[in-house]
Amino acid sequence: MSEQVIEPGTGETDPQVTDETHVHDAEELQKEVEKWRSLARKHETNWKAASKELGEYRTANLSDAEKAIEDAKAEGRRAALTETGSRVAKAELKAYAATSGVALPTSVTDFLDTTRFVAEDGSPDMEAIAAFVDPFKSTPKKAPKFTQNIGAGPQGGGTSPTQLTREDLARMTPPEVNEARREGRLNQLMFGEP
C-alpha cells in the first residue's frame, strides 16, 4: 500500500511522496545525484554571469570620480595581495626548502623576487616554489671505486690496511714481506707515514 499525502486546502495528493517500501537501487540514486549536480552547475553558471553583468552595469553608470575611486580600491587590493602574498611565499619557500633538506642561504632569499611565487589570488604558488627548490636538493655522494692513496701522504677515503711493525717484519720470510708490501701493510715503515 502506498501512502498519499493530501495537500491542505487543495484536496489533491502530493506527487513527490511515494511508497515508503520502495527500495531505490544505486543506479537510480546515481542518476538523481547527477541530475542535481548538473542543475547546481547550471545555476552557478547563471549566477556568475548575472553577477558579472551587474558589475559591468554598475561600473558603466559610475561617474569619472567614482570610477577613479573604484580603480584606486582595486589597485590597493592588488598591492596588498601582492605584498602579503610575497611575505607568505617567502615563508613557504623557506619551509619547503627546510623540509626538502635544502639550506638556502639568506643571500638567496633576501635578494629573490618572491612575487614570482605568488598566484593571482595572492596565495603562494607551491608548484613554482617546488620548481625553484628541487634542483638544489643534494644527492648522496658516492664513494670512489678505487682507493685514493696515491703515495702523496695521507689521502683519506677508504680504510688503510693494518700496518706491520719492525718486530713483525723480523719474523716474516721474504715472500711474506713482498706480499705485505703489495698489500700496503709496510707503508708506515717504507714511507714514514704516521
Alpha helices per DSSP H over 7-157: 26-60, 64-100, 106-111, 126-133
pLDDT for the residue numbered 152? 61
pLDDT > 90 fraction of the chain, expressed in percent and rounded: 14
State pLDDT tens for residues 138-177. Answer: 766 666 666 666 666 555 555 677 888 888 888 999 999 9
Amino acid at position 92, single letter? E
State pLDDT tens for residues 56-79. Answer: 888 777 777 887 888 888 888 888
- Crossing angle for the helix pair 64-100 and 126-133, to the nearest 10 degrees: 40
Give the whole-angstrom CA distance, residue 136 versus residue 105: 11
Residue 39 pLDDT grade (very low, low, confident, very high; cuts 50, 70, 90): very high
Cβ neighbours around 90 below 10 Å, total: 19
Q: Is the model more confident about 183 or about 63?
A: 183
Mean pLDDT of 93-103: 85
Do the beta carbons of residue 84 and residue 122 sit within 8 Å? yes
